[in-house]
A = this chain, B = another copy of it.
């Protein structure tokens, strides 16, 4: 058990438990992982018990089982949420949760009917998850597990060690004291968010190849980092890595076109060259070089999925960006560069708990990447002053 591999995994799991979910002694810890992530799920379980967890509950999902449902199951199965799974998600209230990402078979669903793939989501489960976000009812985090299939997709060869190195760099495992390094990093992002809030912005303007978009901000929009707090006040880092400052846009105000700058892994497919057109805050057209159907099906899931729920700024200092890699995994790619999400607003991105009046509510939240050196981002104040925010991936406001 004392091999190098296990030590790295143990260190990684400890950061996820201490910095990520920040598990409190006596909490029940809910781990949700794909079966291929079992080595990480097991390491997380041990780390959580060492942190004093009362009970660690691991739920393994299997994409092959999901594939069989989409391919062979009846229509009614597609958006069915088993009641016992809904109860599991409900019972996370007051607990800690860790979800793993990193797709070992990124093209597993590629040959299936895109419409059925897009409709295949446990709606009721998503609703409960979004409610937890809304209620800040648990401390949770997301963390990735490398695999041959994922490495193959990224590098064209199954070089798991190279992927491990990239993940270790992005999650600051290469630092002598990763916990301290994370604390320092999050403090810096927090200064950046505070500086943005001091500007009193009313809108963001994006300009770049295939992109000319203006997104309104609310008076109660507040830029923040992924260092969240539960309703009870416990801090946690909602995903590792994280490099963003983000905020809730005015869901009613988005005009123009935005073109994605990185592929998006969505519900088992890879969406490439995504281009969304907005009018009056709504997505009115979806184009893509690949995977448009999945996006179209997803934004039809509920009435508000066509509205925006998040705008996030990431500069060239991002460790994820510095790797120069496309991870085909939102956890990483969204932290490489600026992104936008359609669907539900994250409560941390605005003041007050009320939704509506421009704060979007949906069972969907999908981030897609729009940043890069060719993207210029400006802030616009209520009195029309234009403040450069990003130029050639360099952060412009004082930090």
* Alpha-carbon gap, A53 to B83, bound state (A): 17
- A91: chain B residues at CB < 8 Å are 82-84
- A87: chain B residues at CB < 8 Å are 83-84, 87
Identical copies in the complex = 2
A319-359: which have CB < 8 Å to B?
Answer: none
Known contacts: A83-B87, A84-B84, A91-B84. The answer to whether A42 contacts B56 by CB under 8 A is no
The number of residues on chain A lying at the interface, defined by a beta carbon within 8 Å of a beta carbon of chain B, is 35
A52-69: which have CB < 8 Å to B?
Answer: 53-58, 60, 62, 64-65, 68-69
B77 touches A54 (CB 8 A): yes
Q: Is the C-beta of A232 less than 8 angstroms from some C-beta in chain B?
A: no
Closest to A88 in B: B84
A42 touches B57 (CB 8 A): no
A55 touches B73 (CB 8 A): yes
A62-94: which have CB < 8 Å to B?
Answer: 62, 64-65, 68-69, 71-74, 76-77, 80, 82-85, 87-88, 90-91
B55 touches A42 (CB 8 A): no
User: What would 18 more interface pairs be, CB under 8 Å, given A55-B73, A55-B76?
Assistant: A35-B35, A38-B62, A41-B65, A42-B65, A42-B68, A45-B64, A45-B69, A49-B68, A49-B69, A49-B71, A54-B76, A55-B69, A55-B77, A56-B68, A60-B62, A83-B91, A84-B84, A84-B88
